[in-house]
Chains A and B, each alone.
Chain A
């Protein structure tokens, strides 16, 4: 799986958009970009994933650059409950199972 690079920490004001970057310059053509988050002491939670098109769901938007070497997770209106560690992971989506490799992620702190 391709290696990812994320800033260790970011701050965001409540109600503003949180934009979390991820670099994955060695990503291969069949690797997907996944985002998970982990709220303190809980198990990680899936947010969104994509291959090359931008994706949006009820939680977030995922913007992948045209060369696919980086991506941005956007939380459009961050709340205090979005304070968490956010993990960017790239992996092949197989018909079997995905054994994801987690890095250390970005600690997002949402403040009043």
Chain B
């Protein structure tokens, strides 16, 4: 079955280190998204992509970057991790065109920055 997977599911790192969270989907969806979720907040959009070589900033993009070199993957990189980036990160994908617009979410990656 097609799916969307995130790795690692849990990671602890230190302030200043570079961290990459992987997201891989097998639906061949053009659209991919990264959200973060913190206590007291809903999901907030970090970056998104509507296709290969396309990337866009969301509402909380500072300190994060993404690249889209193929349809299946959208890795999220924290160039220099900060304690404020301790959060749960969710990747999602959706198809383009006249579908339902439904987003399919991964199971999340819990990142702790010490």
Residues of chain A touching chain B, judged by Cβ–Cβ distance below 8 Å, are: 32, 34, 36, 41-46, 49, 87, 91, 93-105
Contact = CB atoms under 8 A, between A and B. Distances in A.
A42 to B, nearest CB: 6
A80 B41 CA distance: 24
Interface residues of B, number: 30
A99 B48 contact: yes
A44 B31 contact: no
Interface in B78-105: 88, 90, 92, 94, 96-98, 100-105
A105 B96 contact: no
Contacts of A105: 42
A46 B44 CA distance: 17
Contact of B105 (A45, A91, A94): A45
B65 interface: no
A44 B90 contact: yes
Contacts of B96: 95-97
A98 B105 contact: no
Contacts of A93: 101
Given A32-B101, A34-B101, A46-B102, A97 B94 contact: yes
